[in-house]
A and B are shown apart, each in its own frame.
Chain A
């Protein structure tokens, strides 16, 4: 299979009926990278993946594998493997036949096909099920067949469209590890679509956050996690507390409606008097601060409690704490300035 050093997407755009489903996606993927495409439902993740796979023609832009232009090639000539969101296993073929299909299409010899099929089935632990039809497998097993079928042809790029979205929580975690293990042991280059930020953070080397078809941020999991580029990314990355206010004297803001002054870290250009949004994660709010709040709701989360509290001046806050609180308790909250991010309010 054609190896490459880098895959380049250059202003990839796709419209449906004149409306951009994906606009101007530019991205360079190095060999061996694990890229996650992350974003809420309808943001254009599948569109991006289908454009890469050649299942959707581009409206504008181009895709390059090293110096070869790819976006004019049909899917069967791109040499990418794809795991479909609904698996798309061939229902009339056994697991074995599903997996060997791609090898046969690539004209691999019979002996080699048999060997590689067996290896791939062993890799996803489905030896006992090799002769079953997809309809006789559980969801998790079907998903593993879909992965084996995509990677057995040793594609230069593997595309996965929310492959775990149909699985239960436990199996999701197991398969997540499995996918990362396969990526490393087979030396794959992977583009992985998900709307689950935790999945994206734990799997990927780099994250592409999309919203309404536009790239919001490209960065390592740490960068996106700790320094979201704008309030929408912050919202999506688990900054549950989004507090409206107005910037005043550089790095502080006056919270609305109370007018209380707090210190934060501006992201992007924030001028005095601008409307801003202050974002902070529940786990970053300190409980030894100087502002009094009353506990409204307590949810047990295993090791921690998620707490909803209201300050005296009417701010609603989401907190996390290891100590047991009950409704009506008083807590003293504080915002560490380096964890309270100030975003321009209007920026999209």
Chain B
């Protein structure tokens, strides 16, 4: 080996480039094949509408209020649902961060909805909250209301469905972020005179906040691509006409592939904007180690 190749290798190693980077090749190929290629393909299709110029499909989407409003509709469902999932996970995970008897059972019960799938959840929701469901029968029989309360086939049906399926993810993530925070920090705060409220808001929450931002992004993405529940327990032609329904209709009802791809790309772009904002705010927080020192 000559001196120059050695020198080059040293220079590369200094920038973190060495032979172990080859291990990243399979993952990179996988990501390119399954994500980048379809994404690029989608962009290409969206830029080749049957008629009109390069951006005609996008112009059509934004010109038509019926299509354009799906963005707002989807955000109106996904943002509150993701927020509720995160906010509700925090106190429950906080109470459950220590070790106690029955923790595993309780965690299992809280996480089981992950395994149900959207369709089963929708069916359960209809049985439970529908006009003839147990909940409404209870309300009417006890005389709390005269007529059944409408909780399905509208905004609330989709919202509940998203909370049921999204909460377990948020809860598991928050629980693991919480268990990464050194418990001696709160104990130190206690010896310094901090009550539980101060310990939570001054110590635990600031250290947890970056994790909450990440959790929010993940549950938001899950909620934003809502499709089955928007149809099954929602009002797919009105208040829950979400953007994925618009894309579906374009592709399989109108056979407008450019329009469908444009809707899909717009959907991705909106998600990216929300995630960028959340991660940008996260960058303002302390994101370093959550350990209390050496040891």
Which residues of A pack against B, CB within 8 Å?
Answer: 53-55, 74-76, 78-82, 84-92, 101-102, 105-106, 133-135, 139, 142, 146, 149-150, 153, 159, 166
Complex A-B: 20 CB contacts under 8 Å: A55-B187, A55-B191, A76-B191, A76-B195, A82-B191, A86-B295, A87-B292, A88-B182, A89-B188, A90-B203, A91-B288, A92-B286, A102-B192, A105-B193, A105-B194, A133-B288, A139-B293, A139-B294, A150-B191, A150-B192
Does B290 sit within 8 A of A, measured CB to CB?
Answer: yes
Check B36 for interface membership: any CB of A closer than 8 A: no
Given contacts A81-B191, A81-B192, A89-B293, 16 further A-B contacts (CB under 8 A): A55-B190, A74-B190, A82-B191, A84-B184, A86-B291, A86-B292, A86-B294, A89-B188, A90-B188, A91-B185, A91-B292, A133-B286, A135-B288, A146-B293, A149-B188, A149-B192
Contact of B189 with A101 in the complex, beta carbons under 8 Å: yes
B206 within 8 A of A: yes
The residue that A91 contacts in the complex, of B192, B193, B194, B207, with Cβ under 8 A, is B207
In angstroms, how far is the closest chain A Cβ from the Cβ of B288? 5
Q: Are B289 and A135 in contact (CB under 8 A)?
A: yes
Query: At the interface, yes or no: B237 with Cβ under 8 Å from chain A?
Result: no
The smallest beta-carbon distance between B203 and chain A, in angstroms, is 6
B103 on the interface (CB 8 Å rule)? no
Among B190, B198, B288, contact of A75 (Cβ-Cβ < 8 Å): B190
User: B202 near A: Cβ within 8 Å?
Assistant: yes
The 6 closest A-B pairs by CB, nearest first: A87-B293, A86-B295, A102-B192, A88-B292, A92-B286, A105-B193
Q: Give the nearest-CB partner of B194 in chain A.
A: A105
Q: Which residues of A sit under 8 angstroms from B198, Cβ to Cβ?
A: 105
- Is the pair B194, A80 in contact by a Cβ cutoff of 8 Å? no
Residues of B within 8 A of A133 (CB): 286, 288
Partner among A53, A76, A86, A146 whose Cβ is within 8 Å of the Cβ of B194 = A76
Q: For B184, what are the chain A residues with a Cβ–Cβ distance below 8 Å?
A: 84, 86, 88
Q: What B residues does A105 contact at CB under 8 A?
A: 189, 192-194, 198
Most buried by A among B191, B289, B291: B191
B227-242: contact bitstring with A at CB < 8 Å (1 yes, 0 no)?
0000000000000000
Question: Is the beta-carbon distance between A92 and B293 smaller than 8 angstroms?
Answer: no
Q: CB distance B294 to A80 under 8 Å?
A: no
Whether the pair B193, A92 counts as a contact (CB closer than 8 A) is: no
Q: CB within 8 Å of A: which residues of B?
A: 182, 184-185, 187-195, 198, 202-203, 206-207, 286, 288-295
A101 touches B192 (CB 8 A): yes
Residues of A within 8 A of B291 (CB): 86, 91
User: How far, in Å, is B199 (CB) from chain A's closest CB?
Assistant: 9
Whether B292 lies near A89 (C-beta < 8 A) is: yes
The residues of B that contact A149 with a CB separation of less than 8 Å are 188, 192
Task: For B295, list chain A residues within 8 Å (CB).
Answer: 85-87, 166
B193 touches A76 (CB 8 A): yes
B190 touches A76 (CB 8 A): yes
Residues on B with beta carbons closer than 8 Å to the beta carbon of A146: 293
CA distance A75 to B207 in the complex (A): 22
In the bound complex, residues from chain B placing their C-beta under 8 Å from that of A75 are 187, 190-191
Contact pick for B293, options A53, A102, A142, CB 8 Å: A142
Write out the residue numbers on chain B whose beta carbons fall within 8 Å of the beta carbon of A135.
288-289
Among A80, A84, A92, chain B packs the most CB atoms within 10 A around the CB of A92
State the CA gap A146–B182 with chains docked (Å): 15
Chain B residues near A78: list those with CB within 8 A.
Answer: 191
Neighbour of A84 across the interface among B188, B194, B207, CB < 8 A: B188
Q: Smallest CB–CB gap between B210 and chain A, Å?
A: 10
Residues of A within 8 A of B202 (CB): 101
Tell me the smallest distance from the CB of A162 to a CB of chain B, in Å: 10
CA distance A205 to B263 in the complex (A): 78
Q: Are A134 and B293 in contact (CB under 8 A)?
A: yes
Cβ–Cβ < 8 Å partners of B187 in chain A:
55, 75, 84, 88
- Looking at the assembled complex, report how far the CB atom of A139 sits from the nearest CB atom of chain B, in whole angstroms: 5
What chain B residues lie within 8 Å of A134 (beta carbons)? 292-293
Q: Which residues of A contact B294 (CB under 8 A)?
A: 86-87, 139, 142, 166
| Contact A92–B288 (Cβ < 8 Å) | yes
CB–CB B288/A153 < 8 A: no
A88 x B190 contact (CB < 8 A): no
Of B182, B191, B286, which one neighbours A80 at CB under 8 angstroms? B191
How close is B290's CB to chain A, nearest CB, in angstroms?
6
Chain A residues near B288: list those with CB within 8 A. 91-92, 133, 135
Q: Are A53 and B191 in contact (CB under 8 A)?
A: yes
Q: How far does the Cβ of A151 sit from chain B's closest Cβ, in whole Å? A: 11
Give the chain B neighbours of A74 by CB distance below 8 A: 190
Q: Given A75-B190, A76-B195, is A92 in contact with B182 using a C-beta cutoff of 8 Å?
A: no
A135 to B194, CA, bound (A): 23
Q: A82–B188 contact, CB under 8 A?
A: yes
A153 cross-chain contacts in B, Cβ below 8 A: 192-193
CA of A75 to CA of B295, assembled, Å: 23
In the complex, A54→B193 CA distance in Å? 12
**Alpha-carbon distance A80/B191, docked complex (angstroms):** 6
